Amino acid sequence: MSPTTRNFKLGTLGMSYSFSDQHTVNESISELIYFPTEKYTSRSTKSSSYSSTGSKKHSFGVNGSKSLPDGNLSASFGYSLGADESSSRSRMYNYQDNLSPQGSSSSTVRESDSHSVSAQFSAGKGFWNKLRLSASVEYSESNSDAGSTKRDTTTSTITNTVLDITTDALSRNFKVNPSIRYELTDRSSISMSYSFNDGFSQSEQWAYDVTDPMKSSIDSINTQLRTNANNSHNAGVGFTTAFGKDDSKVILNAGLSFVSTGISRTDAFPDDEPMFSHRFNSLRPSFSIGNDSQINRWSFRWHSSNSSPSIEQLRPKLNNTNLYSVSAGNPNLKQAGHNNFTLDYSTILGKETQTALTEYDENDQWGGRGRERFINNNFATFEAHAEFNVNSDVIVGKKTYFAEETYLPEYGYMMPAQSTFSTYENAASSYSASFKTNFGVPINPIKCTLNAGLSIGWDMSPTYVNSVLTQVQNLRPTLSLGLRSNISRDLRFNVGGNASYVHSENDTNGKTDYFTEALRAGVEVNNILKIFYAGGNYTKTFMQGISYTSIADNILDLHGGFRFGPRNNYDLSFNVHDLFNKTSGFATSMSADFVRNSWTHNFGRYVMFKFVCHFTSMKGGAGAGRGGWGGASWGY
């Protein structure tokens, strides 16, 4: 609870506890159909995975805040305990011409216990109505212990290895963020900020081959003794100003930041290796300008950023955890640069718009989403959004396929037949662009709003086919149409759909085309006999024009409940998600040397019951509000 007076908030104190018990099942199937090359006339890879996970977690939290004259203090502390159980199976096989398929399969059963703590403190203080200083400090730490049994089978050696794996992992993170803002005038200000983030993780994983008679043979592929460290410095300066009339003023923001990021790793098994470290530095300018008009609103934004390669992409050490998909890093990688440009415009149509909005402002007590509903329900609207992205020094994978057993002299390693070796390279640039429009028109005779939209997406990205760099392009125009009712708060419905055309092509292996469509319908009914409410949503999607028959999918969600008690303080409700248990999906895409088809099934159906009790309002002075609420939920 928060005791308050009219103009001065004394402070708050909160405590919380939560318990969750979740069970999740996922399965997926994927296949890559490769275009013919001089190494083979036909080739495909098929992989499948299945996982079942159960998780129980207790979480405790304490938080508090204190208001000061022209300032504030806040702090929080959290602690959690968790226990997980999981089982998984995976298979991956390569099929080449008339040769026997080669691949591997793996199954794992795992149990783990974990605990974590977190703390946060922040403070802010203003001086002379011009200067404001603020700072925050955060710390978190987690530890987990796990034991698992893993069974690996490979077709090349016809071996069946059973591993007993124990894992002890620790991670810590510390972050500090001071900032300062000075008001130059009543419409402009300058700000400076700095943040430092330091992270550390340590993993100790031992794997023993229990098929060995002595049960003491260490499996070097799955045994890891390593530490990871990363730290980043981010210093920035920003300027904000506004000019023009108050009802249509233009706001300008400009900023520049310097970011320095360092990553390092130390391995102690199978050899005690020296630390591998890298540091990346970058300048990141940004700029935005836009107006603050309710009727004709526009904005332009340019934002730059960088992304550093991971330690696995950099470290030149062989990773042969999967014998048929071996990889190694490239220490000469550069960080990728990103530039994002966006342009937005929206307007409200109609001659009496200005007068109506002014009258609504004078009588509006809530603002925010209430204003948006008023505009969307009473006026024709038009919105447009354009975006363009340029990425330089893009990090791409470079894969080499070996149809026969091949020795890699630079790594002293023998690649088995029908296996792939992957490394990473910087390519020149990738591009993407999108344009979206939406037009909303109220249809007053039937108290509905019609929405129509058009969007076009395009991207061009580099990729390697063995040692040849090529480009892949995708074009995706989409049309959408929907009808939303505004009959009353007690009866609402919506229907709609969209259709997309996808065209993909590359420099070496032609093109592919297909269509996707989706239909949606929903209804919500409230105050049935003054206490009941119910609703539902249905979605159906399907694809056409690919190398398969039409693939359809559908999802049905239902919900309902009733309110009872004095002032309807009690609420008992249910929610049935994915009644048909068909939260599955199919996706297809073309790369430079293969077409990828994938299927997923999340076993998404569940039924949730919820009971909520709203306490009556508490009496108090000005500023006192609703006393609070409590509740519980359970489901399967």
Integer angstrom CA distances of residue 456 from 327, 504, 506, 544, 592: 36, 14, 19, 19, 22
Asked if 308 contacts 335 with a C-beta cutoff of 8 angstroms, the reply is yes
Residue 568: the pLDDT is: 77
Residues 6 or more apart from 388 whose CB is under 8 A from it? 340, 341, 342, 431, 432, 433
Phi, psi (deg, nearest 5) at residue 125: -150, 135
What is residue 335's DSSP assignment?
P
Q: Is residue 5 part of a domain?
A: no
In whole angstroms, what is the distance from residue 138 CA to residue 400 CA? Answer: 44
Better-predicted residue by pLDDT, 582 or 34: 34
Position 18 pLDDT exceeds 90: no
**pLDDT band (50, 70, 90) for residue 258:** very high
Asked if 113 contacts 85 with a C-beta cutoff of 8 angstroms, the reply is no
For 457, what's the count of Cα atoms within 13 Å in the CB-facing half-sphere? 10
Residue 5: the pLDDT is: 36
Asked if 148 contacts 106 with a C-beta cutoff of 8 angstroms, the reply is no
Position 623 pLDDT exceeds 80: no
Q: Which domain holds residue 528?
A: 11-635
Better-predicted residue by pLDDT, 2 or 292: 292
Residue 94: the pLDDT is: 92
Residue 142: the pLDDT is: 94
**pLDDT band (50, 70, 90) for residue 8:** very low
In whole angstroms, what is the distance from residue 205 CA to residue 223 CA? Answer: 5
Average pLDDT, the chain: 84
For residue 260 the two structure tokens come to 């320095």
Q: How many domains does the chain have?
A: 1
Position 618 pLDDT exceeds 50: no
Tell me which residue has tokens 């791409």.
396
Strands 325-327 and 419-443: parallel
Q: Which of 168-172, 229-233, 442-446, 477-481 has the least mean pLDDT? A: 442-446
Better-predicted residue by pLDDT, 493 or 548: 493
Q: Is residue 261 part of a domain?
A: yes
Residue 619: the pLDDT is: 43
- Does this model's pTM top 0.85? no
Residue 552: the pLDDT is: 64
Q: Is residue 1 part of a domain?
A: no
For residue 138, with 0-12 CB atoms within 10 Å meaning exposed, 13-18 middle and 19 or more buried, which class applies?
middle
386-405 tens-digit pLDDT:
999 999 999 998 888 888 88
Q: What is the mean pLDDT of residues 298-327?
A: 89
pLDDT cut 70: percent of the chain above it: 86
Asked if 625 contacts 617 with a C-beta cutoff of 8 angstroms, the reply is yes
For 343, what's the count of Cα atoms within 13 Å in the CB-facing half-sphere? 6
528-540 tens-digit pLDDT:
888 899 999 998 8
pLDDT cut 90: percent of the chain above it: 41
Q: Is residue 35 part of a domain?
A: yes
Nearest of 57, 61, 58, 59 to residue 15 by alpha carbon = 61
Q: Is residue 85 part of a domain?
A: yes
Q: Is residue 60 part of a domain?
A: yes
Residue 210: the pLDDT is: 81
Position 74 pLDDT exceeds 80: yes
* Domain of residue 207, CATH code: 2.40.170
270-306 tens-digit pLDDT:
777 788 889 999 999 999 999 877 778 899 999 999 9
Q: Which span out of 257-271, 346-360, 609-623 was modeled with the highest average pLDDT?
A: 257-271
Tell me which residue has tokens 């005690």.
272
Position 445 pLDDT exceeds 60: yes
Q: Is residue 542 part of a domain?
A: yes
